[in-house]
């Protein structure tokens, strides 16, 4: 189940981060072979053992006149067991570390990472925020 929330918020619990935190999965330029454009794009996986939630955040650092675009997906504490199971980890594993391993070994595609949650029936909420470059 996915719940899209208004810009800047998700689940009524957290704001969309405009910076990366946790494990950096990618930071650099990605290119689109179809359009010929490139983006400064970063992806981070974060796990908060205190609050029990997993966060996957993506940051597209737009250049003037294009706005920056930040997006986050959260798996709440009640659903961490589902995420760990799909990632092949036990109940003591850090889901951010497991997720990072899957991205680095190629089993989860970098730009496909947010869709991976849906395809694997992992409950999550999401939100996005644009930041003006004017």
Q: What is the pLDDT of residue 109?
A: 86
Q: Give the dihedral sign, CA 54/60/66/68.
A: positive
Q: What is the pLDDT of residue 31?
A: 67
DSSP lists the bridge partners of residue 74 as: 55, 125
What is the rounded distance in angstroms from the CA atom of residue 130 to the CA atom of residue 111?
18
pTM of the model: 0.77
Q: How does pLDDT run along the chain (134 residues), one tens digit per residue?
A: 344 333 344 445 778 877 778 998 877 776 666 666 666 778 889 999 999 999 998 877 766 666 677 788 999 999 999 999 999 999 999 999 999 999 999 999 877 777 899 999 999 998 877 777 66
**Spatial distance between the Cα atoms of 21 and 34, rounded to a whole number of angstroms:** 30
């Amino acid at each position: 189940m996915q719940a899209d929330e208004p810009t800047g918020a998700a689940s009524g619990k957290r704001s969309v981060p405009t910076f990366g935190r946790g494990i950096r999965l990618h930071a650099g330029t990605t290119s689109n072979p179809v359009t010929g454009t490139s983006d400064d794009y970063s992806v981070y996986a974060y796990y908060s053992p205190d609050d029990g939630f997993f966060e996957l955040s993506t940051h597209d650092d737009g250049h003037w006149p294009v706005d920056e675009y930040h997006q986050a997906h959260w798996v709440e504490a009640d659903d961490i067991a589902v995420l760990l199971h799909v990632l092949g980890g036990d109940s003591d594993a850090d889901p951010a570390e497991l997720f990072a391993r899957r991205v680095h070994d190629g089993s989860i595609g970098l730009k496909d990472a947010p869709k991976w949650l849906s395809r694997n029936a992992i409950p999550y909420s999401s939100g996005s925020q644009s930041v003006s470059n004017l």
